[in-house]
């Protein structure tokens, strides 16, 4: 590797040293799309039932 890449790699691997961290809630879903993922996204968006059914019909 070149020197620039080595410097970047070292910086990336360092812990954040300034103490400011924003704890953001996140949902981790498996890669890909399936019925469970569609239902989860629809639930998070508070979509009406008819829209969920429309999305599920489009998926199948």
* In the predicted structure, residue 60 carries a pLDDT above the cut 70: yes
What integer pLDDT is reported at residue 1 of this predicted model?
60
What integer pLDDT is reported at residue 36 of this predicted model?
96
Q: Give the pLDDT mean for 29-55.
A: 97
What integer pLDDT is reported at residue 40 of this predicted model?
97
* Per-residue pLDDT band at 16 (split at 50, 70, 90): confident
Q: Domain limits of the chain?
A: 32-59
CA 3: distance to chain centroid?
32
What integer pLDDT is reported at residue 47 of this predicted model?
98
CA atoms within 13 A on the CB side of 6: 3
Which one-letter DSSP state was computed for residue 21?
-
């Amino acid at each position: 590797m070149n020197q620039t890449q080595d410097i970047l790699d070292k910086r990336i691997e360092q812990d954040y040293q300034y103490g400011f961290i924003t704890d953001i809630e996140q949902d981790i879903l498996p890669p890909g799309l399936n019925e469970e993922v569609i239902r989860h996204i629809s639930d998070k968006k508070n979509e009406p039932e008819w829209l969920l059914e429309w999305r599920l019909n489009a998926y199948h």
